[in-house]
Amino acid sequence: MDPTNHWILPLITFLPLLGAALIMFVPKEKPSVIKALSILVSLVPLVISIWLWFAYKHGGAQFPNGVQFGIDVPWIPSLGVSFAMGVDGLSVPLIFLTALLTTLSLVYSTFIEVRPKEYFWMFLLLETGMFGVFTAMDFVLFFVFWEVSLVPMYFLIGIWGGPRREYAAIKFFLYTMVGSMAMLLSILAMYFHTTAAGGGHTFSMLAMAQQAMTNGDAVPLNIAALVFWGLFLGFAVKVPMFPFHTWLPDAHVEAPTAGSVILAGVLLKMGSYGFMRVLMPMMPGQFARFWWVIAIVSLIAIIYGAFVAMAQKDLKKLIAYSSVNHMGYVTLGCAVAASTVGTLATRSAALNGAQMQNFSHGLITGALFLLVGVVYERAHTRDLSAFGGLWAKVPVYAGMLAFCSFGSLGLPGMTGFIAELSVLTGTYAAAPILAGLALIGIVVTAAYMLWMLQRVLLGPLNPKWEKMPDADAREVISIAPLMALTLFFGIIPSAVMSFFGNASEAIIRVLHP
């Protein structure tokens, strides 16, 4: 690992935890201090993540042959556990996305009056968990952060959520916990079949991936399929892939607005990150063997998610099901990258598109959930039939909603178009029929987003909203950066695709040595 600036990753990971500790000493009678302190603390990792973006050296060694800003010190030597962190082109954009969405969510949440101390404390703890997942290079550390991120979101939904918040929180927790237990068993199987350089077993993710490069998988063939599906279940629940998605609409609908932003923008990305960081480089033989299964399930998610979204009457549930649809392109790109047909260029295009869709979905869907919160705070309803004609009354809000909706349906010039085009290019080379069927999802997505805009913004104004105020400064500050980045990276995709290209080539070299 690169010893240069080895303190950067622990610093960015644990600064939010330090901020949470400081908040514990602020009296709950001073909510304005708590809110200001939380936002200031979250700004520091955001600044560091921007520095990390520009300090990252493109073209350097990628996981598993090398990572940048690495640190590796013994933690539990008797078990082969190390405090190991590092980043490559796969994780740097996700770290920036996590920092950005957390800060914007905290800015948006300054209106919270119910138990604000606990709310902002939970958010900072959640940020530490999310950063840890994207920086960990030891499986024990990875699993600890994975579980840490689960607990604050459970409480954010269960305390500050909607009328069915307890049901949604428990469902979210149980689904994710079942997936985590399957993943843990697979991790233990890999541990007992991985030998450290000095002898003994190790939880090093680098060592497991390097062993897979030599042996085809991190475990012997007789248990490889079982280990693969255990890991798959853990990550598929988090994505969530069909049919493990049923916790998502409930969690999104009942979560507070900022909770939905983080859930869609970052927590779902932990599942797709697991596909690219763990499943593909550590179980390449099994991933190549079962790529068609993953591709078909992804295709079902794309089409099913789009049609179910179109059937929704609740604006927030519509956006929630759109996540099932959009994340289907991520897993489809991963599957195609492991296919046995196509060229290196087409496989790389598919995997680049999957990573771009990951990043794009965080920006666009995060903004859409914030926009749902803006209108809900004023109207206290999300029923699409209750709106109409809002464009003339709230033009700033309407403009932002239209912009983000066009981004979600894949309008050229925005990030979603580049992502879906790349995935479909790779998919067509591997299986033209899959690409053709995936286009159904794009058409239906355009239909439900435009239909949503028609019902909310166009037509006669409902007299109930005659005095509805437009988006205020707090809301514009929360949403405008996401819109700007959606446009910037859509016009200049190389600014972020340069990260993905190196990571994709490294993963594909493992899949197709």
pLDDT tens, position by position, 229-256: 999 999 999 998 988 888 988 898 888 9
Specify the pLDDT at position 9: 94
pLDDT tens, position by position, 352-406: 999 999 999 999 999 999 999 999 988 888 888 888 889 988 999 999 999 999 9
The backbone region for 216, taken as left when phi is positive above 0, alpha when psi lies in -120 to 50, beta otherwise, is left
DSSP string covering 484-498? HHHHHHHHSTHHHHH
Specify the pLDDT at position 507: 86
Specify the pLDDT at position 2: 46
Max intra-chain CA distance, the chain: 74
Specify the pLDDT at position 156: 92
Please tell me the distance from the alpha carbon of residue 98 to that of residue 145, in angstroms, as a whole number.
Answer: 14
Please tell me the distance from the alpha carbon of residue 399 to that of residue 140, in angstroms, as a whole number.
Answer: 46
pLDDT tens, position by position, 95-150: 999 999 999 999 999 888 888 899 999 999 999 999 999 999 999 999 999 999 99
pLDDT tens, position by position, 262-313: 999 999 999 999 999 999 999 888 998 899 999 999 999 999 999 999 999 9
pLDDT tens, position by position, 425-443: 999 988 899 999 999 999 9
CA angle 80, 227, 299 (to 5 degrees): 130
Q: How far is CA 147 from CA 77, 140, 143, 153, 451, in A?
A: 22, 11, 6, 10, 39
pLDDT (mean) for 75-88: 90
pLDDT (mean) for 9-26: 93
Residue 57 exposed, middle or buried by CB count within 10 Å (0-12, 13-18, 19+): exposed
Residue 412 exposed, middle or buried by CB count within 10 Å (0-12, 13-18, 19+): exposed
| 216 pLDDT above the threshold of 80 | no
Query: Which three-class secondary structure string do you get for 398-429?
Result: HHHHHHHHHHHCCCCCCHHHHHHHHHHHHHHH
Q: Percentage of the chain surpassing pLDDT 90?
A: 62
| 1 pLDDT above the threshold of 50 | no
Token pair 């607005």: residue: 257
pLDDT tens, position by position, 183-211: 999 999 999 888 776 677 889 898 888 88
Closest CA to 133 of 175, 180, 78, 166: 180
pLDDT (mean) for 44-56: 94
Please tell me the distance from the alpha carbon of residue 278 to that of residue 364, in angstroms, as a whole number.
Answer: 26
Specify the pLDDT at position 481: 95
Over the chain, what is the mean pLDDT? Answer: 90
Please tell me the distance from the alpha carbon of residue 441 to that of residue 445, in angstroms, as a whole number.
Answer: 6
β-sheet bridge partners, residue 314: 383
For residues 217 and 513, the answer to whether their CB atoms sit within 8 Å is no
Specify the pLDDT at position 513: 65
Show the tokens assigned to 479.
């949403």
Query: Which three-class secondary structure string do you get for 263-328?
Result: HHHHHHHHHHHHHHHHHHHHCHHHHHHCHHHHHHHHHHHHHHHHHHHHCCCEHHHHHHHHHHHHHH
DSSP 86: E
Specify the pLDDT at position 4: 53
